[in-house]
Amino acid sequence: MDWVDLRSDTVTQPTAAMREAMAQAIVGDDVYGEDPTVNQLEQLAAHRLGKDAAMFVTSGTMANLAAVLTHCSRGDEIILGDMAHTFLNEAGGVAALGGVQPRTIATQPDGTLALRDIEGAVRSDDVHYPRSRLVCLENTHNRRGGAALSVGYTRQVGELVGKRGLSLHIDGARLFNAAVSLGTEARELAAPADSVSFCLSKGLCAPVGSMLCGREEFISRARRIRKQLGGGMRQAGVIAAAGIVALETMVDRLAEDHARTRRLADGLRGIPGIILENDPPATNMVYLQLGPNAGIAAAELSSQVESDGIRIHVVGPDRIRLVLHHDVDNAGVERTLSAFRRVVLEG
């Protein structure tokens, strides 16, 4: 079946240009620092984010874990939102593998952490307490509907963190979506951070991989962590080549995904029983709830629209997430709306 797959932007297929670049990639042993394609990707990523250096890893989870383990020692504490991907969806790695304690504070509806809450979570110098080491932000914020955190807000957090002697990490899995939405550069959003990660394999369409960026000395230490995690990929230029194409060709077109997301939201808004949580959507996600008059639960709706070739992500009994990406065109949006109308309106 010709699917319209809205479960995530991780389902994107590599473009023809990516496949060609992968086939022609010049490779070497990346663990020895000898893969020229990986080196090129890392230099490009560092430049795009305004950092000294970057490291290619297999996934966003590995990038965030390597960042935390580089910033922190066992028994240290990180401050992050209770809706953060690192806290909810990365298998408890910072605690299980690093002995680092997460201290969660309330994630605000716009994806931010209140400055007063960050300040209040920083531990005093007392032998009874773990040491506060790191604050983590997420941009865009997945559980808050793809909300984009502004340059001004991120600067405020950076100033607060610096005054308290902590470091700042940004989980920027979809940082380029935030930059496009806000009409700014990713480097501006990353500037206050000591480290920042971003995914090549979500909206940027590469088949695999993420980047961790920061100061030269930080990335040098992170490479040891990557090795400990089994992330030395040897002739990794084969996949790094797709990442180069992603950064060079796929960033500006994210605006198309955002426009289609708004079109999808506009159509869903008119269906009785559907309640949009993030209205209007800021980037490429629509979160919706099925009200009592929808007459159907999320799992059943998912099953029924699948017969029309539509795949969606159920995140609760009455809650659904839809994610737009390169492989969903205007026709895909219209097919999705037709399927939702058929199921909800016709019962």
Q: Using CA atoms, how far apart are residues 249 and 253, in angstroms rounded to an integer?
A: 8
Name which of 187, 207, 202 is nearest 285 in CA terms.
202
Name which of 269, 345, 314, 280 is nearest 145 in CA terms.
280
Residue 318 has pLDDT above 90, yes or no: yes
Q: Considering the chain, what percentage of its residues have pLDDT values greater than 70?
A: 100
Instruction: Give pLDDT, residue 346.
Output: 81
Instruction: Give pLDDT, residue 345.
Output: 87
Fold match between domain 10-248 and domain 253-346: no
CA 194 vs. chain centroid, Å, equals 17
pLDDT range class, residue 347, cuts 50, 70, 90: low
Provide mean pLDDT across the span 14-19: 98
Tell the CATH superfamily of the 253-346 domain.
Aspartate Aminotransferase, domain 1 (3.90.1150.10)
Provide mean pLDDT across the span 129-140: 98
Provide mean pLDDT across the span 305-319: 97
In terms of CATH architecture, what is 10-248?
A: 3-Layer(aba) Sandwich (3.40)
Q: Domain spans of the chain?
A: 10-248, 253-346
Residue 1 has pLDDT above 90, yes or no: no
| Count of CA atoms in the C-beta half-sphere (13 A) of 144 | 24
Provide mean pLDDT across the span 263-285: 97
pLDDT in tens, 177-231: 999 999 999 999 999 999 999 999 999 999 999 999 999 999 999 999 999 999 9
pLDDT range class, residue 72, cuts 50, 70, 90: very high
Helix (H) or strand (E) holding 190: helix 186-190
> What pTM does this model have?
0.97
Across 30-129, where does the E strand assignment appear?
Answer: 53-57, 76-81, 101-105
